[in-house]
Structure 1
Amino acid sequence: MRLLIDDVIDLLRLRVKPLAAYQYPWWQPALMLTVLGLVASGDTGDLGDNIAGRMGYAVALTWLAVAGFSRFMSFWLRLNKGDVGGSLFGLVVVASGLQFILPLASWLPDDAAAGMYFSVSLFGMIVMVNALSKVAAVSKWRVLLGMFLFAPLGLLLMAVTLSFSKMAGWVDLPPEVEAAVQAQAKNASGSAAWLKK
């Protein structure tokens, strides 16, 4: 586990090892990903008072998003003649380590919190692009394009997870949020269908 944490720090310093170094025992990225989801649940206060349900929603969404992104980027990088000789899952998990500090934004005034969210998200994207481009030996622009193409699928995953969580009684959606989720799912489905053509 200490090696995984050291790898998180190295990636934040934009130091990347060969992909083989990120093939961890299955329980290590699984544990880190679950903790990431639990940390993210702290930012779901507008989804009702069911704390356990909100935690379940956040963990499920985190797992689906990371697993889906890993599979999609593996396909995308191979399509672009990238040297992907193993699973990207462990690398994507450790490259997402910066998300641990996002809940701290809730302690800040609204303007400062928005600035922190933007800064962390931007740097997190830089870390991910740098890591994937180096392990696959492809240009950063190709990785960035792949991330852009995954975006509608990511939105669809979020909308589906929210809808399932609502049906399961895990979360309560305010009317305006429910309408936005339905519109988002519709738009994401249209974008995903267009990408398959």
Structure 2
Amino acid sequence: MSQASSHPPLTPQFCFSTTALRDFLRLSRSTIDDSITQNLNALLAPSRSGFDPSSTSSRQSQPPGKRQIDQQSCKSFKENVLFPSWQARSDVLNYCAGVATSEDPDDPDILARQIESERDRERVVDERLDPYSARFYPQEARTEMLANIVRNERSVENIVRTRTWSIIGERCGVSRDGWGDALDRWRKGRETNNELLR
């Protein structure tokens, strides 16, 4: 069974290194969500009931990939692997969203953007001579680029979690809650446990 993914140390440099940010999210998703069927199949333990030699003499009506998993194994997987991984990814996206909305005094391209903006103000445009001369595409600040990446990754995260939750619902039994409600309940339970340990 897979282990819960934990996030790397959160720094603005980690967020602005969009390759590192996307690699973390991709690796976490591939380990937990993209291989959810394999993770759930690992919870099936046919050895617990013992080997029945007669099981090989007839065809099984349900393939192993569709068998129901006992509730305790499902609960343990959700609480110890799935939800902590989702929480780690949420923590990273929330942190990077905060970085994207804060001021960035260390932006290496700020001077180049200021010069580009000044040149654009001084430019004389005669659209009769060149109708495309009025085009100006200012360079995006890295906080704006990061905000776009975080927005896109949150959309992907929503799709991935919805798909994963539907597979868990099929294999572990139908849950009335959506993945958001279940994750919130797990977070509250964890906070309560942490308060009791203090």
If the length of structure 2 is used for normalisation, what is the TM-score? 0.28
Structure with a larger share of its residues in helix: 1
